[in-house]
Amino acid sequence: MKEKAVVWMMLVMAVVAMPVQARIKLVAIPERADTVIRLDNPQFTLVEEERVLTLQKGLNQVDFSWKGVHIDADSIRLTVLSHPDQINLLNVSYPPNEAALVWEISAAQAYEARVRISYLLSNIDRLVTYKGVADKEETTVDLKSYVILRNFSGEDFTKAKILLDYGEAFEQGISHEETKQLLFLKKDATPITKVWTFDAARIPWDPEKLGPGQNQEIPVTYRFTNTKEGKLGEHALWGGKMRLFQEDGHGSTIFLGEDFPKIDGKTVPVVPVGEDMEVYIGNSRDIVVTQRKMHDKRINIRRNNKGGIVLYDTDELITAKIENFKDSPAVLTMLQHIPGQWDMAQCTLDEAEATYTRKNAGTIAFEITLPPRDPKTGKASVRNLSMQYHRRNVR
């Protein structure tokens, strides 16, 4: 800590020259014994430091100042850890026009008292990033998570224990205007599922109608599950940019891409326990979906007294031909959008009943496992989806 002429960069407890009748017993404060920086809350940083006060019998007044440091004055708390039955905090006062406060402490006798001072500190922020290396078969990822700590609070921390709400704690010093990257979580062989996602609202239905040199491209993601079975699941995971690589089979890696974890296609700040998160790694042309509306007929027509149509249903049939040109199985998620009020009349996948999940009132998702193409003929494996539904229409 710097002397008073320069101003302590963080918390200063020092003897302030005042008349004897104003300060009954003054306490000189030693350096911090232990400091903990808690990063559990994404918006606020909690700092807890312990010091040993030399208290005299009777009343003691302790000055606490933080000029040049971004502290929330209302958050400052003093907790007596040793001899709590014999030492009492009587009151706290705030000198006018100063970044300071004065504690009045009563001691039954002279003590070496251990106290904890806690406060919320601004301008210390953190970013969480991830790095994952997938095996060549793309079945598991060695996952590492880093916290990037940036200190612009005005204080130098020579040594502090830094905690998040999960992962390993670590002791580091960090000075004012310094940035550090620290590894706090490591999970080897984390299971993943490689997923292709065809969104009928975003991708052309008929690849044959695309212009010259254009091909249907389907986004590909890695899906992680925040569960114990997925080698995670101990805590909700902070959102942060993830960079993904893949082993090339020759002792090196190739860069796949980077993205923020998403749930149902939306970037999230936290991935709760039990949720799936997906990370985009690029587009693929190995799977082709050709989707067509086969018919759209009006049924159950209702008319008013003048013969005008006021209500009717439509009988709509959509089919999709799905081709996998890969030499390995693939998982395809198909998102279909049906606006308004509707009921599914029939839904099949290669003559077997197809199952789907309602994402919301107008969106359903199919998850289809595609076999690899025939290695003998080189032909793509083909699956056929048929979806017939009735939709209510009001005029």
Condensed to tens digits (0 to 9), the pLDDT of residues 233-252 reads: 888 898 899 999 999 988 89
d(CA 144, CA 122): 27
The confidence score (pLDDT) of residue 169 equals 82
**Topology (CATH) of 34-121:** Immunoglobulin-like (2.60.40)
Contact yes or no for 47/66 (Cβ under 8 A): no
What pLDDT score was predicted for residue 3? 35
Cβ-in-10-Å burial (0-12, 13-18, 19+) of 334 comes to buried
Where do the domains of the chain lie? Answer: 34-121, 124-190, 287-394
378 has a pLDDT exceeding 70: yes
CATH T-level assignment (fold) for domain 287-394: Immunoglobulin-like (2.60.40)
pLDDT tens track for 68-105: 899 999 999 999 999 999 999 999 999 998 888 999 99
Between 189 and 18, residue with greater pLDDT = 189
Can you tell me the mean pLDDT for 136-162?
Answer: 91
Average pLDDT (94-117) is 92
Of all residues in the chain, the percent with pLDDT exceeding 70 is 92
pLDDT at residue 9, as a whole number: 29
Q: One fold for both 34-121 and 287-394?
A: yes
Q: How confident is the model at residue 30 (pLDDT cuts 50, 70, 90)?
A: low
Reduced 3-state DSSP string for the chain: CCCCCCCCCCCECCCCCCCCCCCCCECCCCCCCEEEEECCCCCCEEEEEEEEEEECCEEEEEEEECCCCCECHHHCEEEECCCCCCEEEEEEECCCCCCEEEEEEEECCCEEEEEEEEEEECCEEEEEEEEEEECCCCCEEEEEEEEEEEECCCCCEEEEEEECCCCCCEEEEECCCEEEEEEEEEEEEEECEEEEEEECCCCCCCHHHCCCCCCCCEEEEEEEECCCCCCCCCCCEECCCEEEEEECCCCCEEEEEEECCEECCEECCEECCCCEEEEEEEEECCEEEEEEEEEEEEEEEEECCCCCEEEEEEEEEEEEEEEECCCCCEEEEEEEECCCCEEEEEEEECCEECCCEEEECCEEEEEEEECCCCCCCCCCEEEEEEEEEEEEEEC
**What integer pLDDT is reported at residue 393 of this predicted model?**
87
Confidence class of residue 56 from pLDDT cuts 50, 70 and 90? very high
Q: Extract the tokens encoding 242.
A: 């993830």
Global pTM value? 0.78
Q: Residue 324's pLDDT is what? A: 94
Which of these ranges, 240-244, 267-271, 376-380, has the smallest mean pLDDT? 376-380
For residues 215-226, b (16+ Cβ closer than 10 Å) or e, as one string? ebebbbbbbbbb
Q: Hey, what are 104's tokens?
A: 């009045």
